[in-house]
Amino acid sequence: MKGRVLIAGFATRHVARSASKAGYAVYAVDHFCDQDLSWYTKDRLKFEELDELPDRIAEMAGRHRIDFFIPTSGAETIDAPVPVAGTDARTAARLLDKLEVQRFFEREGIPVPPLAAPGDFPSIVKPRSGAGGWRNAIIRSPDDLELWRQESPGIEAIFQKQVPGIPASVSCIADGKHAVAIAANEQVLRGGDASPFGFIGSVTPLDHPLTERMKALAVKAAAASGCVGSVGIDFVLGEDALAIEVNPRFQATVDTVEASTGLSLFLLHMDACQGKLPPGVPGPACYSARQILFADRDLVVKEDLSRFAPDVADIPWPGTSFEEGQAVVSVLGTGRDRSCALESLDNTLNKLKRYMG
């Protein structure tokens, strides 16, 4: 055993799996506590609302001797009672402020979509803080803006010019001063009218004429950000690679990055926390895809979906109920190229849907 780590945040399974495979004893505080999280952890605690998270972290740290705290989404700014292995809470808070990130990119000479005034249409409105893109929306009229404000009361927002392009990201490893790009990823967003910018999956690697430029910009941003360990830079690829956000923690692309590269992101993260970056990164061994399956109606998962592992992840316990629109399970696929990886994913997705009725 290499050490004991406490991983906490809204969803931790992907990081817990990587840490467990890397030889660490893992403890988790998680909103879902899915069945497969129990495969990779010694102990786990569930929370419902984010304001419960600090107390749950303290409770878990009181139960066990923990060496390091690893924050994921929702826990980045929490001061845990054990040493953090990763980006410190103060730096993370600055980078989770989308207005501050806009200014950061501009100072570093990294292209970004320009800010828009609240009356400029069309534009994209975003909460000034938060992750996942679920409250981001396209605003085309004063009525759209008023509706967004009604649905997001009291939330401070920023507005950006709407820029067409492909959503993408770069997974980096940083030591606080330097960074290395590990993989470029295609991001899959939900689309439609409700939460069109919500993240629902990824494909690694990303084949695009701007991939190498995007990776170079991501390395520049990650190195200047002050982040330590795993850090992701989000982009939109149109006429140029435009930076969108900094994720100062493990990203939701861990599954596809590790499957594609064969690397352990957790080992790279822990090495970076000791000031050690990889001297080089091998090319992708395959293409990997992940997609989240959402409930198309209110339902109860009565069967044990673990029979589909490792082609599925984030596996609910039998008897778990879901409301329409909630995430149920993640589906994974690999192949020699993007088309084959998506075909593999679709085959499992179709099987799973039939199995679930």
For residue 12, the domain's CATH number is: 3.40.50.20
Last residue within a domain, chosen from 111, 144, 161: 161
Q: Does 150 fall in a domain?
A: yes
Element (H, E) at 9: strand 4-9
Last residue within a domain, chosen from 161, 191, 217: 161
Please say if the pLDDT value at position 193 is more than 80: no
Least reliable range by pLDDT among 31-35, 133-137, 316-320: 133-137
Q: Does 259 fall in a domain?
A: no
Residue 251 exposed, middle or buried by CB count within 10 Å (0-12, 13-18, 19+)? buried
Q: Does 293 fall in a domain?
A: yes
Instruction: Tally the C-alpha atoms within 13 A of residue 78's C-alpha that lie toward its C-beta.
Output: 26
State pLDDT tens for residues 303-350. 999 999 999 999 999 999 999 989 999 999 999 999 999 999 999 999
> Is 10 in the same domain as 80?
yes
> Is 80 in the same domain as 153?
no
Q: Does 60 fall in a domain?
A: yes
> Is 10 in the same domain as 75?
yes
Residue 131: per-residue pLDDT: 67
∠ Cα 33 261 250 (to 5°): 40
For residue 317, the domain's CATH number is: 3.90.1170
Residue 40 exposed, middle or buried by CB count within 10 Å (0-12, 13-18, 19+)? buried
Before 167, cis peptide (omega within 30)?
no
Q: Does 335 fall in a domain?
A: yes
Residue 276: per-residue pLDDT: 98
Residue 170 token pair: 């770069």
Q: What is the residue range of 21's domain?
A: 4-85
CA distances from 46 to 31, 50, 113, 239, 313 (A): 5, 11, 38, 44, 18
Residue 245 token pair: 């956000």
> Is 14 in the same domain as 76?
yes
Q: Report the number of distinct structural domains present in the chain.
A: 3
281 conformational bin, left if phi > 0, alpha if psi -120 to 50, beta if neither: beta
Total-model pTM: 0.96
Least reliable range by pLDDT among 189-198, 222-231, 249-258: 189-198
Write the DSSP string, 48-61: SSGGGHHHHHHHHH
**What are the beta bridge partners of residue 175?**
228
Write the DSSP string, 161-220: E---SEEEEEEEEEESS-EEEEEEEEEEE--SSSSTT-EEEEEES---TTHHHHHHHHHH
**How far, in whole angstroms, is CA 22 from its chain's centroid?**
20
Q: Does 190 fall in a domain?
A: no
Q: How many beta carbons lie within 10 A of that of residue 303, not counting itself?
A: 11
> Is 70 in the same domain as 11?
yes
Last residue within a domain, chosen from 56, 85, 114: 85
> Is 75 in the same domain as 18?
yes
State pLDDT tens for residues 77-99. 999 999 999 999 999 999 999 99
Pairwise CA distance, residues 345 & 34, whole Å: 20
Residues across the chain: 357
Mean model confidence pLDDT for the chain: 94
Please say if the pLDDT value at position 195 is more than 90: no
Q: Does 62 fall in a domain?
A: yes
Output 197-200 pairs: Cβ under 8 A, ≥24 positions apart.
Answer: 197/124, 197/133, 197/134, 197/136, 197/137, 197/167, 198/132, 198/133, 198/134, 199/132, 199/133, 199/252, 200/291, 200/292, 200/294
